[in-house]
Chains A and B, each alone.
Chain A
Amino acid sequence: MPEKKPKPETPATFARLPKEAPRLGVYICYCGGNISDVVDCERVAKVLGEQPDVIVARTNMSMCSDAGQAMIEEDIREHKLNRVVIGACSPFLHEQTFRGTVSRAGLNPYYYHHVGIREQDSWVTHDDPEGATAKAIRLMNAGLAKARHLEPLEPIRLEAKKHALVIGGGVAGLRAALDIAERGLKVTLIEKTPFLGGHMAQLESVFPTDEEARPALHELIEKVVHHPKVTIYTSTVIVATKGCVGDFQVQLRPVARGVRGVAPGIQAAIEACPVEVPDEFNYGLTRRKAIYFRYPGCHPPTAAIDWEHCTLCGECAKVNPKDIRLEREMTTFQITVGAIVIATGFQPYEPRPGEYGYGEYPEVVTLPQFIRIMAMAEDAGELMWNGHPVRQVAMIHCVGSRQVPGVHEPQPDGKVNDYCSRVCCTATLQATADLRRRFPQIRIFDLYEDIRTYGRGHEEYYRQASLSGVRFLRFHTEQGPVVIADPTGEHPLVVKVNDYLTWGEELEVPADLVVLAVGMMPGPIEDLIDVLKLSPGNDRFLLEVHPKLRPVETAVTGIVLAGTAQSPMNIQESCAAAEAAASKVAGLLSQGLVELEPFVAHVDLGRCTGTGACVDACQYEGAIQLETRVIDGKEVQRAVISPAICVGCGVCVSACPNRAIDVQGWTLAQYEAMVAAIAAEIPALVEVEA
């Protein structure tokens, strides 16, 4: 069935309603005491009720509640209000709520102005109730002044492309891609490396079920790969984007794989490669060639060339000239998508050289390395490491997490990792359980600050570890463990630690292997942050728009977060977040239409003389342009806005020498009225402000 394509409408085409005398409804919210504990709301209502054009002025314990909203709706109908001003929390929280209220009562939703008297008044002026009340009256009075100048507006409606881009081919990206595709939307998934699966592929088992990691992952990959709605590009990155929700134009740059298809005999070609580099799959514990498979059974099942290390010597191509082509470059291409899912994942914290002996002693490894060591170890007999049988292992928690300024050395950006990485406690205890099961003779010491086995089934690892004789030692941040060479030479290392479970005394734990439970850091995505204008938080992970209520959306509508790009998470949590992100994408795109706020620039063609000052000043490519028009038989230049691209920043307004541009909903006339009202003498306030 051909879909009905709505025409993108521009606010400029809307007919202005004839101006009627303003009939104002004023509402002051107690905010359950947040405002009324400081501001005398009843007094504010009384003073404002006496202002010109005000028909009703009311208060409510919670204006955003259903009862509060119903009251406003009833007033609009009964008193034929045509402007509504609400003094409450920040508009960020409830502007949309009240737009719905106003609109349900049959009024244009933009005939409403929101005044923040909580964040801008009661919360910051809490020690001066009189002053806060006066301030509320002034702010509200300015709101009334603006309201008298409000114009009806319509949201900008755009056709939404029923197509989403997922960035990242780890478990979160795969999960999000599958859910969006199942919903009937097209999905393009890009992965920067040549292989899918992310970090999950490097695990042997997943807590808390202890199910095998790769079979579970491969099942998901198979579903995604074979889904008719999904297109996957490996070795591909984003280089540029334009547009907005519903219509992002994304430039993608692929890099050639260098190898075609299943390529029979590729193993011989790999053997022929003379280059050897540390294998990141085993976190550098082993080496691989510059033409390689990530691991046996990896996806896609085609080898790839590591262009960073390939010397283009051609040895591999000599073995298999049919399937190997040593040409790296490919042309960039563009796709248009309605939404973007960021699933760029994490990287394990890399201890700095010397941190707990890392890089100094080969017996100090990270937890991800230890998981690979265990994966490669034979079950029979003893666990060997660096030529010695392992008899004692020390696990150290919170390496690269919960860091404290002044105690821990900062990262290169000057900040310490002050966050908890959430997964390391359970991951460490799961690895401990594996070690205990396979090599029961090894003595295990667990050095921790707090054991955070918070999840379902996680506590069981802790309990089992305690029962199986793992010795727990609790250190304080300021007195972290120190790893040195064993002076007696009996073991390679000794870990010195002040154990606060027993007097805080210094204990010495000899160890053949020290495992650092390293935390998570976001993947290196500076380029992407730049291209998509994303906001990382203080912890460098990507910021959500509201950490409590809107956990998977970013401040950019249409760009959502899935998995560890946002914060440390385990696999279960990454999948849940990815599915939630998919829900948001489906909610945005499945109707085929998106609505944007109409607060964009508007040109008064009667005043525009085509100076082009606005175009020069504009920071958003394509938001404002000069077009040639014929007026009175003469060809002239006039400014034209693209409402979907304009963000309403107002720079053009200040640049225009003719005052020909206004931001709708925030016009110069409205500002001037507000400024005048703020400065006006209000008889009721003379005494207070004296």
Chain B
Amino acid sequence: MAEERLRVDALVVGGGIAGMQASLDLADQGYHVALVEREPSIGGKMIALSKVFPTLDCCSCITTPKMSAVAHHENIHLFTYTEVKTIEPNGGSYLVHCVEKPRYVDTGLCTGCRQCEYACPIDLPDPFQMGLSAHRAIRVPFSTAVPQKAVLDIDHCLLCGKCEKACPVDAIDFTQGPQDLVIEARAIVLATGYETTPRDAKAEYGAGKLSNVIDGLMMERLLAPTGPYLHVLRPSDGKEPDSIAYVQCAGSRDETLGVSYCSRVCCMYAIKQAMLLSGALPMADITIYYMDIRTFGKGYEQFYQNARAMGIEFVKAKVGRITEDEYRNPIVRVEIMEEASRVEERKHDLVVLSVGMLPAYDPRPLYGVPIAEDGFVEAACPNIAPPMTAQPGVFAAGTATGPMDIVDSIVMAGAAAAEAAAYLERHDGEAKTYAGRSISMGEKEAIHA
């Protein structure tokens, strides 16, 4: 097949909230955008959260419309389960070589009915539920996934063919292989997001081996209406916890982990979760061990004060060690930093590590975009033009540029869109906005190399 290219004005890498917003902000201005997401669905980390601070909006209620808007926007070409492999400069634009991974499911036929998923015999830890529950080797990634199509994990597949038999529309297709595609883009927005501190990062906190010491994202799932247990229960034995503790800065402001920076979101998400927990478990005692409470955003300090008024206990303390007793209750050894500095051991039913944000992606090899000491994208002009990188035509948005919350990610995405638009206009020359051939699922082959 002759190589055909999709020519667009801008390529957005990453379909989390920042990438979606940057795509929408560019597409609304009339630019043609290709959005490339390596996971089988867009939505990023945000779609897995329970509720957002400080509005307490249900997260899926406010993320799904963005996902839907991206999927339906006439100027956005969405590529999921697709990774960027190489990039070459092409006289004022970039040739971006991508590979669409095989889903082993014909997305043109699949209706997302999940009968294949029910037929599949193997249960695997579901990353969407942070491993707290299971999914199958073939599955629709989650109930609000976009696209709402099944994907088969070949590395955990028995190749037993049960899904094939179950599928009412014959969508399972073992003949699929990786598909190369080439996108020519005049500007690039990196929205590659973040990872959280691994739960096993700190030996002092049990190195991930204590089942009742979970992290913030796991608690998000426990609190979410589509969560693994549909209740807040502790993972060791399904007990509804009476006493829950948060350990702040578990992975941030910690030189021993090489992370000297503050992750910005952990204070607020811990307070938010504490508030949601006191709603879900009105009798539970909730304690937050912290160094400094950093509720700096708009309305955040008031949110913190409300949490204090609700009876959530805030203790300025350093947590030195977490162990467990024979009933697997976590024992937290704290150095209380106020009044008489003293060391105490406190028992809780469940401990949540307020893990921090780490860079998820190194943009140097492919994009030539430098990173700073902290591992996040280095801005070329951080104060006046925050999304601009040293690489011409390449901009960065959201947590690729450092820890930030959803609202700041949305602002940064809008800023990146503005920078990219200005760049496109400056380098317009004779070439006008690319027509960006509109492609439907069925037509997709046309642009594959």
| A, B co-complexed | yes
B292 in complex: contacting residue of A61, A451, A580, CB < 8 Å: A451
Which chain B residues border A463 with CB–CB below 8 Å?
260
Report the minimum CB–CB distance from A256 to chain B (whole Å). Answer: 32
A504 interface residue (CB < 8 Å to B): yes
Q: Digit string of B402-418 for contact with A (CB within 8 Å is 1, else 0)?
A: 11001110111111111
Which of A65, A216, A451 is close to B384, meaning CB atoms less than 8 Å apart? A216
- The smallest C-beta distance from B19 to any residue of chain A, in angstroms, reads 14
A interface residues, how many (CB within 8 angstroms): 86
- Check B28 against A587 for contact (C-beta < 8 Å): yes
* Binary CB contact string for chain B from 265 to 304 against chain A (1 if under 8 A, 0 otherwise): 0000000000000000000000000001111111111100
How many whole Å from B262's CB to the nearest CB in chain A?
A: 5
Residues of B within 8 A of A182 (CB): 421-422, 425-426
Contacting residue for A459 out of B60, B261, B301, B337, CB 8 A: B261
A456-B376, A575-B384 provided; 9 other pairs, C-beta below 8 A?
A61-B226, A420-B300, A422-B296, A456-B402, A539-B298, A581-B414, A583-B418, A586-B418, A591-B29
A182 to B144, CA, bound (A): 38
Q: Which of B62-70, B119-127, B131-139, B161-169 is found at the contact surface with chain A?
A: B62-70
Interface residues of A in 192-232 (CB under 8 A from B): 206, 208-209, 211, 216, 219-220
Q: Which residues of A contact B387 (CB under 8 A)?
A: 576, 579
Shortest C-beta distance, B66 to chain A (Å), equals 8
A66: CB under 8 A from chain B?
A: yes
> Which residue of A65, A104, A566 is within 8 Å of B298 (Cβ)?
A566
Contacts A183-B421, A575-B384 given; does A547 touch B54 at CB 8 Å: yes
Q: How large is the interface on B (under 10, 10 to 19, 20 to 34, 35 or more residues)?
A: 35 or more
B71 located at the interface, meaning its Cβ lies under 8 Å from any Cβ of chain A in the complex: yes
Interchain CA distance A420-B301 in the complex, whole Å: 6
Q: Contact check: which of B55, B224, B419 meets A547 at CB < 8 Å?
A: B55
CB proximity of A103 to chain B, nearest CB, Å? 10
- B226 CB to closest chain A CB (Å) equals 6
CB-CB under 8 A for A100 and B25, given A456-B376, A579-B414: no
Cβ-based interface call for A301 (8 A): no
What's the least CB distance linking A119 to chain B, in Å?
11
Chain B nearest Cβ from A631, distance in angstroms = 45
A286 to B55, CA, bound (A): 45
CB-defined contacts of B376 to chain A, threshold 8 Å: 456
Q: Is the CB of B296 within 8 A of A452?
A: yes
Across the interface, which residues of A come within 8 angstroms of B406, CB to CB?
548
CA distance A220 to B381 in the complex (A): 12
29 contacts between A and B (CB under 8 A): A61-B143, A62-B61, A65-B60, A65-B67, A66-B146, A171-B384, A175-B384, A182-B425, A208-B382, A420-B296, A456-B402, A474-B338, A500-B339, A501-B341, A502-B341, A504-B338, A541-B298, A549-B407, A551-B411, A552-B411, A566-B298, A572-B382, A576-B415, A579-B415, A580-B411, A580-B414, A580-B415, A583-B415, A591-B30
In the docked arrangement, what's the CA distance between A539 and B300, Å?
A: 12
Q: How far is the CA of A61 from the CA of B425 in the complex (A)?
A: 43
User: B69, B144, B382: which contacts A67 (Cβ < 8 A)?
Assistant: B144
| Minimum CB–CB distance for B128 against chain A, Å | 14
Q: Does A6 contact B (CB under 8 A)?
A: no
B374-A456 in contact (CB<8A) = yes
Q: Does A418 contact B (CB under 8 A)?
A: yes
Interface pair A419/B421, CB less than 8 Å apart: no
Q: Mark B32-63, 1 if CB is under 8 A from A, else 0.
A: 00000000000000000000101101101110
Binding site for B on A (CB under 8 A): 31-34, 37, 61-62, 64-67, 69-70, 89, 93-94, 97, 100, 104, 171, 175, 178-179, 182-184, 206, 208-209, 211, 216, 219-220, 401-402, 404, 418-420, 422, 450-460, 463, 474, 500-504, 539, 541, 546-552, 566-567, 571-573, 575-584, 586-587, 590-591
B261 / chain A contacts, CB cutoff of 8 Å: 456-457, 459
With A183-B425, A418-B301, A587-B25 already in contact, the answer to whether A548 and B57 are too (CB < 8 A) is yes
Given contacts A66-B64, A182-B426, A583-B25, contact A32 B417 (CB under 8 A): no
Check B407–A548 contact: CB distance below 8 A.
yes
B305 within 8 A of A: yes
Residue of chain B at shortest CB distance from A174: B384
Min distance, Cβ B279 to any Cβ of chain A, angstroms: 10
**In the bound complex, CA of A89 to CA of B422 (Å):** 37
A-B interface contact total, Cβ < 8 Å = 237
A115 to chain B, nearest CB (A): 16
Does the CB pair B339–A575 fall under 8 Å?
no
Is the C-beta of B385 less than 8 angstroms from some C-beta in chain A?
yes
B260, A575: Cβ atoms under 8 Å? no
Query: Chain B contacts of A219 at CB under 8 A?
Result: 384
Q: Quick check: A64 and B418 within 8 Å, CB to CB?
A: no
Q: Residues of B with Cβ closer than 8 Å to A?
A: 25, 28-30, 52, 54-55, 57-58, 60-62, 64-69, 71-72, 112, 143-148, 224-226, 253, 260-262, 264, 292-302, 305, 316, 337-341, 372, 374, 376, 382-387, 402-403, 406-408, 410-419, 421-422, 425-426
Most B CB atoms within 10 A — which of A89, A209, A454?
A454
Q: Which residues of the other chain, A, contact B337 by a CB distance below 8 angstroms?
A: 501
Nearest opposing residue in chain A for B263, CB measure: A454
Complex contact B374–A65 (CB within 8 A)? no
The minimal Cβ–Cβ distance linking A207 to chain B, given in whole angstroms, is 9
User: Knowing A94-B65, A418-B302, A548-B62 touch, does A62 contact B144 (C-beta < 8 A)?
Assistant: yes
Nearest B residue to A34, CB-CB: B58
User: How many whole Å from B304's CB to the nearest CB in chain A?
Assistant: 9
Minimum CB–CB distance from A233 to chain B (whole Å) comes to 23
Find the residue from B64, B402, B417 having the highest chain A CB count within 10 A: B64
Interchain CB contact under 8 A, B147 and A66: yes
Report which residue of A183, A208, A219 has the largest number of chain B beta carbons within 10 angstroms of its beta carbon.
A183
Q: Interface majority SS on B: helix, strand, loop or mixed?
A: loop
Asked if A419 and B64 make an inter-chain contact with CB atoms under 8 angstroms apart, the answer reads: no
Q: Are B262 and A583 in contact (CB under 8 A)?
A: no
What's the Cα separation between A304 and B337 when bound, in Å?
55
Known: A450-B292, A459-B253. A552 touches B383 (CB 8 A): no
Q: Is the CB of A452 within 8 A of B292?
A: yes
Residues in A whose Cβ lies below 8 Å from that of B410: 548-551, 580
Are A216 and B414 neighbours in the complex by a CB distance under 8 Å? Answer: no
User: Which chain B residues lie closer than 8 Å to A474 at the CB level?
Assistant: 316, 338
Establish whether residues A572 and B383, one from each chain, have CB atoms under 8 Å apart when the complex forms.
Answer: yes
B148, A67: Cβ atoms under 8 Å?
A: yes
Known contacts A97-B65, A182-B426, A501-B337: A587-B148 contact under CB 8 Å? no
Check B298 against A552 for contact (C-beta < 8 Å): no
Query: Shortest beta-carbon distance, A406 to chain B, in Å?
Result: 12
Name the CB-closest residue of A to B401.
Answer: A456
**B64 proximity list for chain A (CB < 8 A):** 62, 64-66
Is there contact, CB below 8 Å, between A100 and B421? no
- With both beta carbons as reference points, the residue of chain B lying nearest to A567 in the complex is identified as B298
Q: Of all chain B residues, which has the CB nearest A579? A: B415
Q: Are A504 and B374 CB-contacts (below 8 A) given A31-B58, A209-B383, A575-B385?
A: no
Chain A residues in 8 Å Cβ range of B54: 547
Cross-chain contact A459 with B411 (CB below 8 angstroms): no
Cα-based distance from A422 to B402 in the complex (angstroms): 17
Known: A33-B225, A64-B61, A183-B418. A571 touches B383 (CB 8 A): yes
Q: Contacts A500-B338, A548-B406, A590-B30: A458 and B262 contacting too (C-beta < 8 A)?
A: yes
A419 & B298 in contact (Cβ 8 Å cutoff): yes
Top-6 shortest CB links A-B: A580-B414, A33-B225, A579-B415, A182-B422, A587-B28, A32-B225
Q: Which residue of chain A lies nearest to B302 when distances are taken between CB atoms in the complex?
A: A418
The distance in angstroms between the C-alpha atoms of A455 and B54, with both chains bound, is 19
Closest to A590 in B: B29
| CB-contact partner of A100 in B72, B295, B415, under 8 A | B72
In the complex, A453→B262 CA distance in Å?
7
Chain A residues within an 8 Å CB radius of B253? 459
Q: Which residues of B contact A590 (CB under 8 A)?
A: 29-30
Q: B423's closest neighbor in chain A, by CB? A: A182
Closest to B405 in A: A548
A504-B339 in contact given A62-B64, A182-B425, A454-B262 (Cβ < 8 Å): yes
